[in-house]
Amino acid sequence: MTTVLDVQRFKDEHRRFSVITAYDFLSARILDEAGIPILLVGDSLGMVMLGYPTTLPVTLDEMIHHAKAVARGSRHALLVGDMPFMSYHVSTEQAIASAGRFLQEGGMHAVKMEGGGPVIEITRRLTELGIPVMGHLGLTPQFVHQMGGFKVQGKGQAQAARILADAKALEQAGAFSLVLEGVPSDLGSKVTQALRIPTIGIGAGPGTDGQVLVYHDMLGLTTGKAPKFVKRYANLAEEIGNAAQRFAREVATGEFPGPEHGYSANGSTPTPVGAKDGEIQEVKYGAG
Ligand code: KIV
């Protein structure tokens, strides 16, 4: 299983690594079996799974619900639970309790929090208590209203210096890695070079140690114009739409279900696809 020590080793050995978000059992299993070393149960699930306009409405209970499903699907990856808005903002005690739920109930191995400032002290406390922390700086979606939208951060000198200082402070506080989102590529490289811990970029250029993408973006499940930092490695929205239309057509014409998809009491039904001769197939959802 990937541990935080392995993640540090990736950087020490100059091995660039990938992180993908995961929100459910089956996708976690696919990504885990594909060898993705870190799965992030991101609060982006509010937007791509639950249809909220931002990540702000996501609750800790919703995050834990999805974290549990991901933990059931994964065996090898390091699992990181994203602390949602207002689950660590009230007090250090609240942050400890929320992070504790991710590890105890959600089956996560680490948590992620957005921002610097007060989050630095919370990072110190959590790591002292044995809860590994991934930091997150730059375009931090939980600050959407303060940023005036989802805008690239760190373009000006003062903002870039703030991000670099927060990054160093998070490392000092014990964070094991740092997400850098929506910052100019040269700042992504500069922060990466200044830190001992690995950086994980999303819209932070090619100079970070790792790269993360949201599952739905990476697979082309989200449609319309993708943000500049997204590369679509598949076009599943189109494939799913086509498959659904084919299914509907075959239902309408009577082509589906065929005899091979049915059961009979006397055993004269042809053996279902995927079953051995004479084998009684269980009636259940999902195949293996
Ligand atoms: O919520 C999320 O998925 C994230 C990643 C995009 C880094 O924070």
Residues with C-beta less than 6 Å from any ligand 1 atom: 21, 40, 42-44, 82, 179, 181, 202, 212, 214
d(CA 143, CA 146): 5
How many A from CA of 21 to the centre of ligand 1?
A: 7
- pLDDT for position 275: 59
CA 178–ligand 1 middle distance (angstroms): 12
Which residue owns the Cα nearest ligand 1 atom 3?
42
pLDDT for 286 equals: 78
Q: Are 139 and 183 in contact (CB under 8 A)?
A: yes
Q: Which of 13, 62, 181, 238 is catalytic?
A: 181
User: Which residue has a Cα nearest atom 2 of ligand 1?
Assistant: 42
How close is the Cα of 41 to the center of ligand 1, in Å? 8
Instruction: Indicate which atom in ligand 1 lies nearest the CA of residue 112.
Output: 8
Distance of CA 214 to CAs 88, 121, 159, 206, 230, Å? Answer: 23, 28, 26, 17, 9
112, 176 Cβ separation under 8 angstroms: no
CA–centroid distance, 245 to ligand 1, in Å, is 32
- With CA atoms as reference, report the closest residue to 212 among 65, 44, 14, 1: 44
Kindly give the number of the ligand 1 atom that is closest to the alpha carbon of 55: 1
The pLDDT tens digits of the residues spanning 2-30 come to 999 999 999 999 999 999 999 999 999 99
- Minimum CA distance residue for ligand 1 atom 5: 42
How large a percentage of the chain has pLDDT more than 70?
A: 94
- The yes-or-no verdict on residue 280 having pLDDT over 60 is no
pLDDT score, position 278 = 57
State the closest ligand 1 atom to the C-alpha of 21, by its place in the atom list counted from 1: 3
Residue 181 designated active-site: yes
> pLDDT (tens digit, 9 = 90+) per residue, 46-96?
999 999 999 999 999 999 999 999 999 999 999 999 999 999 999 999 999
Cα gap 200→167, rounded to integer Å: 12
Q: Are 83 and 110 in contact (CB under 8 A)?
A: no
